[in-house]
Amino acid sequence: MPSLDLEQEKSSQAAAHGSALEISISRQDLLRELTATQSVVERKTTIPILSNFLVEAEDGRINITATDLDQSIRTSAEAKVKKPGACTIPARKLYDYIKLLSDGDISIKSMENHWVQIRSGRSNTKMVGMARANFPQVPEFPDASVTSIPAASLRNLIAKTIFSISNEESRYTLNGALLILKAESIAMVATDGHRLAHIEKTGETLSNVSGERKTLIPRKTLSELQSLLSNTDSESVEFADDDHTLFFRIGHRVLTSRKLTGQFPNYEAVMPRDNNKFVLVRSEDLMGSIQRVAQFADERSGAVKVRLEQNEMKISSSSTESGESEDTIETPYSFDPLMVGFNSAYLIDFLKAIGNAGEVRLEFKDAQSAGQIRPEDPESEYKYRYIIMPMRI
């Protein structure tokens, strides 16, 4: 990942260039790219340069780079380059200031002592930058073993799994989702030890993938990817990696991320094999019932009881602080009666992820075994499964 050690020669060259930069760019174009990059900038950093954008200008374009040493975003926009060069500008200050300007052209010019002048209409501002030489080196996108992934597929995979990633820093290998690429399919799986989300899309044609290519992607990177994917017209994402870094190129933007090391757990071992009791419910009905009943669940555990009896499903909760609540959903069910407890928040996360439409199938073995939920949609290109551990109630 980025190293703060730069060769002395590069430093002096960059510093010399840095004093020369002079460009003009439309506010709209600049603001669009600053918006895409500012989320990576370190807010509370002990390394002041990481609070700055690196702005480089040449050949009719400006490049803007932000990094927190774990990840970086590099983006670009068309600009009138009067003098090519480079400078660094306080990221948050620049972003907030450009947002407040009126539309039109903005001129940016670097001055002595790393100050930067920004002019727009009748506004004239000077900001205190820092030496270009201090900005860490960001890895270049490699040309070898690049795989093109359909943007829509990747966006859907992330949305269906990101909420299942563990927040516990100590469980290092669970702080990301596992991307599994095969020549004809793409899958993603995430777990926090209490629940697991697995989604797969077959019928893909992926280049440069032989056998199975597994990559652990940190949650923060997935979140950044989600944001970039929701603001692009690109139909594909170019993905590459080396020993330490993941690279994602979406149109004219490149996101890099430090790799998560370690072994992701053997998730296939926890996939339920013999959950032979099942019930079909409209997801809208299930969501409404759980949300109402969860208001009266124990605040710490959020546990709700799911009771299945002849042709009905009862969802209930109770706590000494708030009271008790029960909802009944009529639905065909002809197996043995069953009562099992689940964390209501986990159920709600899944129902939100599928967009609260259509029917869901809940599959059970007994009160002690993991339950499985999946959308009931035989026509779907995606195979989506959500496994959730039961709670003692």
Tens digits of pLDDT across the chain (393 residues): 544 443 333 333 444 444 489 999 999 999 999 999 989 997 777 899 999 999 999 999 999 999 999 999 999 999 999 999 999 999 999 999 999 999 999 999 999 999 999 999 999 999 999 999 999 999 999 988 899 999 999 999 999 999 999 888 777 678 899 999 998 999 999 999 999 999 999 988 888 888 899 999 999 999 999 999 998 999 999 999 998 999 999 999 999 999 988 888 899 988 999 999 999 999 999 999 999 999 999 989 999 999 999 999 999 999 999 999 999 999 999 999 999 999 999 999 999 999 878 999 999 999 999 999 999 988 889 999 999 999 987
pLDDT of residue 54: 97
Q: Does domain 147-267 have CATH number 3.10.150.10?
A: yes
Q: Do domains 147-267 and 272-388 have the same CATH topology?
A: yes
Q: 178 vs 55, 60, 147, 210, CA distance in Å?
A: 34, 39, 16, 17
Which residues does residue 188 pair with via DSSP β-bridges, in sequence order?
A: 179, 199
**How many whole angstroms separate alpha carbon 275 and alpha carbon 256?**
41
Which helix (DSSP H) or strand (DSSP E) does residue 97 occupy?
Answer: helix 91-100
**How many whole angstroms separate alpha carbon 177 and alpha carbon 154?**
12
> With contact defined as beta carbons under 8 Å apart, do 137 and 3 qualify?
yes
Closest CA to 224 of 89, 93, 72: 72
Close Cβ partners of 262 (under 8 Å, ≥ 6 residues apart): 172, 173, 216
pLDDT of residue 5: 44
**How many whole angstroms separate alpha carbon 308 and alpha carbon 336?**
8
Distance of CA 339 to the CA centre of its chain: 35
pLDDT of residue 263: 87
Q: Which residue type is seen at 85?
A: G
pLDDT of residue 8: 36
What is the reported pTM?
0.89
- Which one of 1.10.1740.10, 3.10.150.10, 3.30.70.20, 3.30.1330.60 gives the CATH number of domain 8-134? 3.10.150.10
**How many whole angstroms separate alpha carbon 237 and alpha carbon 113?**
40
Q: How is the chain split into domains, by residue range? A: 8-134, 147-267, 272-388
Give the torsion sign (CA, 61, 66, 69, 70).
negative
Closest CA to 290 of 310, 313, 309: 313
CATH fold of 272-388 reads DNA Polymerase III; Chain A, domain 2 (3.10.150)
CB atoms inside a 10 Å sphere around CB 247 = 18
Rg for the chain, CA atoms, rounded: 26
Taking the chain, what is the end-to-end CA distance rounded to the nearest angstrom?
Answer: 47
Tokens of residue 97, six digits: 């200031």
Q: 134 vs 12, 15, 50, 63, 72, CA distance in Å?
A: 11, 9, 9, 17, 16
CB atoms inside a 10 Å sphere around CB 27 = 17
CB atoms inside a 10 Å sphere around CB 14 = 20
**How many whole angstroms separate alpha carbon 54 and alpha carbon 23?**
14
pLDDT of residue 392: 83
- Determine the 3-state secondary structure of 164 from DSSP: helix
**How many whole angstroms separate alpha carbon 368 and alpha carbon 364?**
10
